[in-house]
Amino acid sequence: MKEIRIGFIGSGGNANGHMNRLSDMEGANVVAVCDIVPQKAQNAAEKHNADPYTEHRVMLERDDLDAIYLSLPVFVHGQPELDVIERGLPFFVEKPVAINMDIAREVEAAVTKAGLITCVGYQLRYLGSTKITQEILAGKTINMVAGKYWCGTGRGNPEGWLRQMDKSGGQLVEQATHTFDMMRNLLGDVDSVYSMQANRVLKQIDCPDSYIVSLQFSSGAVGSMTTAWAYGGGWDNANVLDILYEGDLLNWNPARVHFKEDGEWVEKTEPGPTIDDVFVNAVRDGDGSQILSPYTDAVKTLEISLAANLSAQENRPVELSSL
């Protein structure tokens, strides 16, 4: 089996999760780690027997790299991706892919021109619960979807980038993007949105703590999404979808799908590949056909979040084609 040698740009929490999974994979080897905080780069490098860097362009000068992971705050995306593309390396990038559409489209155009394998971290697409849901809905007319992403991560240090609207885009861009992406994955593309926002609890930050978003899908289906950033009840209400199709209802979350089978309510799931397995195998084989979330597709999910923010700010419906 060909060894895939991987470099990381960014070594925060998400990056460490990917490094740990890659370390357990046969034929994957983390050989370089870059972070602007020297100690973070050093710590991750020591753990994975890799070389530390504090400048990603210096790391990219290596001639032994097969692929790159970019795990960065959303406001940093753009130039690092373009540097990786110039180097001609396949890359995995965490969601969301950019803070605005100008950056996303610049990277998208460069990726398309270079013909590189890319993968965006929408790992929920690869779950067994998602596969079963797709099988249930195949050939069915979907009427409506109602989604929610309620959590408490809006609480915390108000100086952190996550809780600054100009750096994170708020909850719709940074977190609920997973739920929007799952809506797209199951129901297809979105044409327009209308959104309302409020900040009722987290007065110390400039990000809304509550949203209601209405969605019009290209298929004719309609949808809604509610998000809450000050919720204190855990994660059971994050990434949840209720889907009405013809005369039936199913409830999806990452752990299982709940639906009626032969007149009885049942819960089902099954094992699925990790997103890291899929990406590394794609790089090894030179075939990205098994990647369910390439960069060009993820740009469409970003459009939903940005359109919803704009709609709430300007109190009007927004056509995604206008962005």
pTM, two decimal places: 0.97
pLDDT at 64: 97
What are the pLDDT digits (tens) for 86-98? Answer: 999 999 999 999 9
Which residue in 204, 169, 196 sits closest to 301, CA to CA? Answer: 169
Distance CA 124, CA 305 (A): 17
How would you label 96-115 residue by residue, b for 16+ Cβ within 10 Å and e otherwise? bbbbbbebbeebbebbeeee
- Could you write out the DSSP letters of every residue in 73-84? -GGG-SHHHHHH
Q: Which CATH number fits domain 126-272+303-322: 3.40.50.2300, 3.90.700.10, 3.30.360.10, 3.40.640.10?
A: 3.30.360.10
User: What does the mean pLDDT of the chain come to?
Assistant: 97
Which residue in 79, 73, 95 sits closest to 10, CA to CA? Answer: 73
Strands (E), 254-297: 256-261, 264-268
User: Does residue 85 carry a pLDDT above 90?
Assistant: yes
User: Does residue 12 carry a pLDDT above 90?
Assistant: no
The domain locations on the chain are: 4-123+275-294, 126-272+303-322
The pair of three-digit structure tokens given for residue 33, joined into one six-digit string = 């780690």
Phi-psi category of residue 75: left, alpha or beta, with phi > 0 → left and psi -120 to 50 → alpha? alpha
What dotted CATH number matches 4-123+275-294? 3.40.50.720
pLDDT at 179: 98
What are the pLDDT digits (tens) for 288-301? Answer: 999 999 999 999 99
Instruction: Over range 171-198, report the average pLDDT.
Output: 98
Which residue in 108, 185, 114 sits closest to 145, CA to CA? Answer: 185
User: Which burial class, exposed, middle or buried, applies to 283 when counting CB atoms under 10 A from its CB (0-12, 13-18, 19+)?
Assistant: buried
Q: 11-25, 108-122, 161-175, 308-322: lowest mean pLDDT where?
A: 11-25
The pair of three-digit structure tokens given for residue 92, joined into one six-digit string = 């995995």
Which residue in 69, 73, 113 sits closest to 91, CA to CA? Answer: 69
pLDDT at 13: 83
What are the pLDDT digits (tens) for 236-262? Answer: 999 999 999 999 999 999 999 999 999
Distance CA 145, CA 215 (A): 9
3-state class (DSSP) for residue 229: coil
3-state class (DSSP) for residue 10: coil
Residue 98: beta bridge partners?
none
Instruction: Over range 180-194, report the average pLDDT.
Output: 98
